[in-house]
Chains A and B, each alone.
Chain A
Amino acid sequence: MNRQQEQDAQDSRGYYRRMQSAIEELLILKGVFSGADVEREVKAMDSRDPGRGAKMVARAWLDPDYKSRVLKDGSAAAEELGFAVGPLRLIVLEDTPSVHNVIVCTLCSCYPRMLLGLPPEWYKSRDYRSRVVREPRKVLQEFGTRIPDEVEIRVHDSTADMRYMVLPLRPAGTERLDEEQLAQLVTRDSLIGVTMVDAQG
């Protein structure tokens, strides 16, 4: 970015921030919701982090019955562990030795926030959103993930009412770990599908 572009980007962020505060104030004045409602929602959002998705993955690795429920109805399987999913539907995509999954939202930044919290900045970037559907192997390589040629890549574009999370492959050498130890290995990026789970964590 040159200086002018940087300046423009900062101005537009300032613009949207001002617009957001103005709309928030108006909605509170009109009684659509209260300041306390906003605070409660922000707190709820902050309480969600990838640990939720990691717990589902670790459970699915250890319990084949739970895994089949996860793949059949992701929302119900999340609720089973006490994670409210809300009106959107969660689809969990299973990686196998022959298929690797990765998620994106090319239109905006749809993300399984109910399980992973706020998306990382790069997930919302135009660069990731436009390129991962066009050259997924190259983009994954930039995350340090080399997918063998014989493994098929499936890119999932979240364009409507579904939300996606990847069920990554369980790495070799983790046979003796319990659920909590396994969950520690599962990173946010592996739940998005841009990295694999590493037995070393």
Chain B
Amino acid sequence: MSVPEAVPARFGPGSRVQVRRADPPGHVRTPWYCRGHNGVIERICGNFANPEELAYNRDGLPVQPLYRVRFLCRELWRDYEGNAGDAVEIEIFQHWLEAR
């Protein structure tokens, strides 16, 4: 089996990113609550087939880099009252991320 070509990774750990504020139809695995918000790449998880394509029985190729992005709770929720370091980490595919 040949290894499918991957989309090159644009970000690395520590990169500052913003999640696209988009609302495409279909099966999307980027939670609504982080769209438009700023975060930092915590790690690269690897390359995975795009679930937005897989959901419709397409091959999901080329595989996409998947990242874990850390968002401070205070960035996600304006009125957040806990520790300023409290954070939510979310897996997000590269095509949802823009450099900041």
Interface residues of A (CB under 8 A from B): 89, 106-107, 133-134, 136-137, 149-162
B66 close to A (CB within 8 Å): yes
Which residues of chain A come closer than 8 Å to B66, judged between CB atoms? 160-162
With contact pairs A133-B88, A159-B90, A160-B93 given, residues A150 and B83 touching in the complex (Cβ less than 8 Å): yes
With contact pairs A152-B87, A162-B68 given, residues A89 and B45 touching in the complex (Cβ less than 8 Å): yes
Q: Which of A136, A160, A161, A162 contacts B86 (CB 8 A)?
A: A136
- Give the docked Cα–Cα distance between A158 and B29 (Å): 10
For chain B, the count of residues having a C-beta within 8 Å of the partner chain is 25
B46 in contact with A157 (CB, 8 Å)? no
Which residues of chain A come closer than 8 Å to B18, judged between CB atoms? none
18 contacts across the A-B interface (CB closer than 8 A):
A89-B46, A106-B33, A133-B33, A134-B77, A136-B82, A149-B83, A152-B85, A152-B87, A154-B87, A157-B89, A159-B29, A159-B90, A159-B92, A160-B45, A160-B51, A160-B91, A160-B92, A161-B66
- Nearest 4 interchain pairs by C-beta: A160-B91, A152-B85, A155-B88, A157-B90
- Give the docked Cα–Cα distance between A136 and B86 (Å): 9
Which residues of chain A come closer than 8 Å to B93, judged between CB atoms? 160
CB distance from A199 to the nearest CB of B (A): 26
